[in-house]
Structure 1
Amino acid sequence: MISISNVSKQYGGQILFVEASFFLGPGEKVGLVGPNGAGKSTIFRLITGEEQPDDGIVDRPKRITIGYFRQDVGDLKGRSVLAETLSGAGEAGRLGEELKDLEAKLNDHESPDFADAVERYGEVQARFQELGGYDLEARAQAILAGLGFSPAFVAGDVGNLSGGWKMRVALAQILLARPEVLLLDEPTNYLDIESILWLEGFLRDYQGAVLMTCHDRDVMNRVVKKIIEIDAGDIKSYSGDYEFYEAQRAIAAAQYEAQYERQQAMLAKEKAFIERFKARASHAAQVQSRVKKLDKIEKIEPPRRVIEKTFDFKKAARSGDDVIKVEGVAKKYGEKVVHGGTSLLVRRNERWAVMGENGSGKTTLLKMIAGGLTPDAGAVGIGASVTMGYFAQHQMEQLSADRTVIEELVAHSPTTNLGTLRSLAGAFGFHGDDHEKPIRILSGGEKARLALAKILFDAPNLLVLDEPTNHLDIVTKRALVKALATYEGTIVFVSHDRNFLRAIATRVLELSKDGPRVYGGTYDEYVSSTGREAPGMRQAQT
């Protein structure tokens, strides 16, 4: 259906692809992977025709419909959430608008355009029905509900939504349009776990082709059946899910390294012979023969080794055994009660995952624990010798836009030597020239890493983390999980990433309209106990 053949592309001195090729077939579900800056977004723009290759061919049918979800949605305002969603429904949406205009004209029998309107109405209605237009609003409502919109939100002005909720509207528009090809750039970034689970099911059942980037490995494992990897200018395809891709990539890397080492051993042996006998006339012919042999050998390039990020914690001081005590806490916003008497005791070294549907009070609870919000009733107490590190999305906005990465770290810890802070920056994925990047140009993931670096450098013995993995790529998430696995402190966190929940949680607090409920054990044990992967789901997904 869409074929990229021998495509080369570069920006200035940066080469993205060299004679790269891949094929996206009808109905295929494909994951697009590669490091930041490798060219994933460029692939999307080549497919849509927004960019052209320097060389090679991008072949797509002329009448194919393509929906492209990207991370910049523009300024949505002036319509209800439902109307904005319907406006993106492609031909069916446009015809629906035209039908409304024609119906108004048909009410004016004296109009000179009445006859033309009658004729056009028949044509438009037939095509609208053919495209399933009469089901459009019902489908839009179902998609919006799946993405977490309540009926009140659906009827409200889209302009009043936060950036994250506007992203959901943009995603709903594209899903409603049902294009033959869906291009999805990080569609789960602003979704809660219930919406992610709904999207998984939607994409698995989707009749069209899907090409997606995604930092959620569970989504990749459950949706895609092929991985396309951008690797240093080359594009490679792997048949299977993300887990299969990682295994195959590891095998290929090990085989390549072994091949390289064998060649290096052979070359060393030949060079040693040449060096030993080059001055002897009796061996001149043999030496020349081996020199020519070495000149003809195609040298294997040294293996490219992926540098795993390592987050090294300073050892946290020991806290008291009772770390957080929440006693009968109540909190409401207007008439909406989000906590009606929540109580819990968090003990030293426990790792609590706080789960609940949208509006259940997860972030509110973390803010009250962190001291950023006062409960209406009840009390939150922090135990003896507890030092807290609190991470929330708003802290990324508090980074100083005009500072560089290293300047931000120096401002945070002015008495620490520069070498230590540069090492800290490197541990969180900022290498070389990245230290001098102005914060205003950092991506969401880079800002999250910098905010986490500042918090973890202080070695608190209590971490309160609100969606710490938002915007982090899979490699960075894996490094964070490894670091937290050896962290000698207490953690209370909210996350929509099931792999993170699975790796970190030792207890689960579920918030619901029936009140809080504590599940002792891991996230997997919670799933097994409840039969669902999240509070808003009826049963566990498979």
Structure 2
Amino acid sequence: MIRIDNVSKQNGSQILYIEASAALLKGEKVGLVGPNGAGKTTLFRMMTGQEPPDEGQVSVERGVTIGYFNQDVGEMSGRSAVTEAMDGAGPVSAVASELRTLEAAMADPDQADDMDDIIMRYGEAQARFEELDGYALEGRAREVLAGLNFTQEMMDGDVGALSGGWKMRVALARILLMRPDAMLLDEPSNHLDIESLIWLESFLKGYEGALLMTSHDREFMNRIVDKIIEIDGGSLTTYAGNYEFYEQQRALSEKQQQAQYERQQAMLAKEIKFIERFKARASHAAQVQSRVKKLEKIDKVEPPRRRQTILFDFPPAPRSGDDVATLKNVHKSYGSRRIYEGLDFSVRRKERWCVMGVNGAGKSTLLKLIAGAATADSGDVTIGASVKMGYFAQHAMELLEGDRTVFETLEDAFPQAGQGSLRTLAGCFGFSGDDAEKKCRVLSGGEKARLVMAKMLYDPPNFLVLDEPTNHLDLATKEMLIAALADYDGAMLFVSHDRRFLAALSNRVLELTPEGLHKYEGGYLEYVARSGHEAPGLH
């Protein structure tokens, strides 16, 4: 359906593609992977014709419709979320818009003379609308928005009043409703809670068109795609299978290439040694000459391009007392909305609680109460002896000083630390080389999250309270964080919609439901096995 043939593309001084080729075939579900800045978004833009390649060709089969979702949703206001979502449904939305204009014209006394013409046009538009199944469209739009966790009130309210994350969902709903022949989704899993993620997963599994997507959610990608296209060093490599299979294949081919490279290097060293030893002897001149010619003809094996794996050994956290945090008979309301009535809950040393609950259940409120960012209306919140807390929330990213660089921010936080140690820390969180000199005000959401996380973990607390810590992190940083926190000795209380993060790090689950608290011994995987669902909103 979409072919990329020998494409080369440069962005400023950065070379993104060198004679790269790949194809998206009918009905395929493909994951697009590669490090940040490798050119994933540029590839989408070339496929949609928004950007031409410098060389080579991008061809789309005739009549193929493409739906492209990206993070830049543009301006939305003045209409309801339902209308905005329906607007993307291709020709049917144009007919719906025409019907609305004609209905207004029929009610306009100034257009009475043209009424026969208007009524005739209205009849034609209505027939076309029915033919396109337009009357079912609103029902479908509401179904998709409900799947993405919109309430009826939000669907009918002005889309302009929604936050950026919710507008992103409206833009996604528009593409899903369009059901194009080929869907290109750039990070559709960002800004989604776990219920919406699981709903989207099942929607995409049932979608019959071709799909090409990027995602920082490994589990989400794993369950949907059956092929991976990897961008690496300017070329596109295709792997059959899901993300996990791709990782295994990549590691295997790297190992084989390394072995091949080492064998060739040993053979070359042996030949060069022979040439050096006998080149001055007339008796060996013919042999030396033939070996020199042989070496000139050899195709050199390149060593595998090593992916920079970021690992950081965080110093051990100081030991806390056994009782880390205790809430007794806590009441909390926001206006007329009661969040907690008589809440009792405690965290003990070495416990790692993940908090589950639908939107509005009070997950973030619980973390804020414990972190001291909110106060209870009544009841007691007690933090134990020798507890040193690290609290990560989205607002922490707004507290970074815009004019300080990444490196200066780390230096300000740790004036006693050596330059080398801070450079290593910066590199682990994705700020190597010049990136460490970026000013905080130009950082993306993901970069800010990484910097806040680096500051918090360098001098580790013994109690981590993390509200959506993985929200903006890419796959490599998430893996590094999971590896670092796997050996963490303190207590944890966290909210996350990343199922890999939940499964790897929790050893207790607290589920908040309208009926009250449910506590599960064992981590997230035990919770799924025992409750029969992956999230509280799914039954």
TM-score, scaled to structure 2: 0.97
Amino acid at match of 1:333: Y
In the aligned structure 2, how far is the partner of 1:306 from the partner of 1:319? 38
Structure 2 CA distance for partners of 1:108 and 1:447, relative to 1, 3 Å: closer
SS of the residue 2:113 aligns to = coil
SS at match of 1:311: coil
Map residues 396-415 of structure 1 onto 2, 5 A cutoff: 396-415=397-416
Q: Which residue of 2 aligns with 1:153?
A: 154
In 1, Cα distance between equivalents of 2:280 and 2:491:
69
Q: Matches of residues 280-299 of structure 1 in structure 2 within 5 Å?
A: 280-299=281-300
Q: Which residue of 2 aligns with 1:167?
A: 168
Q: Which secondary structure state, in structure 2, belongs to the residue aligned with residue 508 of structure 1?
A: strand
Counterparts of 2:62 and 2:126 in 1: how far apart (Å)? 25
- Matches for 1:222-233 after TM superposition, within 5 Å: 222-233=223-234
Q: Which amino acid aligns with 2:269?
A: A
Partners in 2 of 1:449 and 1:408 — Cα distance?
Answer: 12
What residue number does 1:308 align with?
309
**Aligned: 1:75 with 2:50:** no
What is the CA deviation profile of residues 138-190 of structure 1, one whole-angstrom value per residue up to 9, with x for unaligned ones? 11111111111112222222222211111111111221222222111111110
Higher mean displacement: 234-243 or 81-90: 81-90
Q: Supply the distance in 2 between the matched residues of 1:453 and 1:116 (Cα, whole angstroms).
A: 68
Moved more, 198-207 or 411-420: 411-420
| Greater Cα offset, 349-358 or 282-291 | 282-291
Query: Is 1:24–2:24 an aligned residue pair?
Result: yes
Read off the aligned partner of 1:66 and give its amino acid letter.
I
Residue of structure 1 equivalent to 2:468 = 467
**In 1: Cα distance, 2:168 partner to 2:92 partner:** 22
Superposed CA deviations along residues 102-121 of structure 1, whole A, max 9, x for unmatched, are 23334569723223223322
Whichever residue aligns with residue 323 of structure 2, its letter is D
Separation (CA, whole Å) in 1 of partners of 2:403 and 2:179 = 42
CA contact under 8 A between 1:320 and 1:385: conserved in structure 2?
yes
Q: Provide the C-alpha distance between the structure 1 equivalents of 2:12 and 2:450, rounded to a whole number of angstroms.
A: 28
AA aligned to 1:4 is I
Deviation at 1:431, TM superposition (A): 0.9
How many Å separate the matches in 2 of 1:441 and 1:231?
26
- Once residues 3 and 126 of structure 2 are traced to their aligned partners in structure 1, the CA distance between those partners, rounded to angstroms, is 35
Matched, 1:86 2:90: no
Q: Distance in 2 between matches of 1:418 and 1:223?
A: 43
Q: Which stretch has the larger CA shift, 159-168 or 366-375?
A: 159-168
3-state SS of 1:113 partner: helix
Q: Match for residue 428 of structure 2?
A: 427
Instruction: Check whether the contact 1:310–1:428 (CA below 8 A) recurs between aligned residues.
Output: no
* Aligned AA (1:3): R
Alignment of 1:376-391 (within 5 A): 376-391=377-392
State which drifts further: 165-174 or 124-133: 124-133
CA displacement at 1:62 relative to structure 2: 4.5
Cα displacement (A) at 1:211: 0.8
The aligned counterpart of 2:242 is 241
1:527 deviates by 0.4
Output one character per residue of 1:208-265: Cα deviation in whole Å (capped at 9) or x when no partner.
Answer: 2211001111111111111111111110111111111111111111111111111111
Q: Distance in 1 between matches of 2:180 and 2:342?
A: 48
Whether the 8 Å contact between 2:464 and 2:491 is mirrored in structure 1 is yes
Partner of 1:45, secondary structure, is helix
Q: Is 1:530 matched up with 2:535? A: no
* Structure 2 gap ranges (5+): none
Contact kept? 2:361, 2:512, Cα under 8 Å: yes
Identity of aligned residues (%): 62
Distance 1:82 1:246 in 2: 40
Distance across 2 between alignment mates of 1:529 and 1:41:
40
**Cα displacement (A) at 1:10:** 1.0
Q: In structure 1, the residue corresponding to 2:533 is in which secondary structure?
A: coil
State the SS of the aligned residue for 1:165. Answer: helix
The corresponding residue for 2:61 is 61
- Judge conservation of contact 2:229–2:239 (CA < 8 Å) in 1: yes
Secondary structure of the structure 1 residue equivalent to 2:502: helix
Counterpart residue type for residue 315 of structure 1 = P
Match of 2:522 in 1: 521
Q: Which residue of 2 aligns with 1:506?
A: 507
Alignment of 1:218-367 (within 5 A): 218-367=219-368
The CA deviation string for residues 477-497 of structure 1, in whole angstroms up to 9 with x for no partner, is 111111011111111100000
Measure how far apart 1:207 and its partner are: 2.1
Quick one: which amino acid aligns to residue 268 of structure 1?
Answer: A
1:405–1:438 CA contact under 8 A, matched in 2:
yes
Please give the alpha-carbon distance, in whole angstroms, between the structure 2 residues aligned to 1:492 and 1:93: 46
Q: Larger deviation: 428-437 or 42-51?
A: 428-437
> Is 285-294 or 82-91 further displaced after alignment?
82-91
The 1-side partners of 2:383 and 2:280 are apart by 79
Q: How does 1:38-53 map to 2 (within 5 A)?
A: 38-53=38-53
Q: In the TM superposition, what is the alpha-carbon distance from 1:456 to its structure 2 partner?
A: 0.5
Q: What residue identity is the alignment partner of 2:426? A: A
Query: Post-superposition shift, 1:441?
Result: 2.3
The answer as to whether partners of 1:108 and 1:114 remain within 8 angstroms in 2 is no
2:94 partner letter: R
1:138 is matched with which residue? 139
Q: CA RMSD in A?
A: 1.5
Runs of 4+ aligned structure 1 residues displaced above 4 Å come to: 107-110
Cα shift readout 1:433-485 (whole Å, capped 9, x = no counterpart): 11111222222222111110000012110100111111211121111111011
Aligned residues: 538
Quick one: which amino acid aligns to residue 463 of structure 2? Answer: L
CA contact (8 A) 2:38 2:232 kept: yes
Looking at structure 2, the residues matched to 98 and 503 of structure 1 have their Cα atoms a distance apart, in angstroms, of: 53
Instruction: Work out whether residues 257 and 303 of structure 2, in 8 Å CA contact, stay in contact via their aligned partners in 1.
Output: no
Secondary structure of 1:196's aligned partner: helix
In the other structure, the counterpart of 2:178 is: 177
Structure 1, unmatched stretches of 5+, are none
Give the secondary-structure state (helix, strand or coil) at the position aligned to 2:15: strand
1:112 corresponds to 2:113: yes
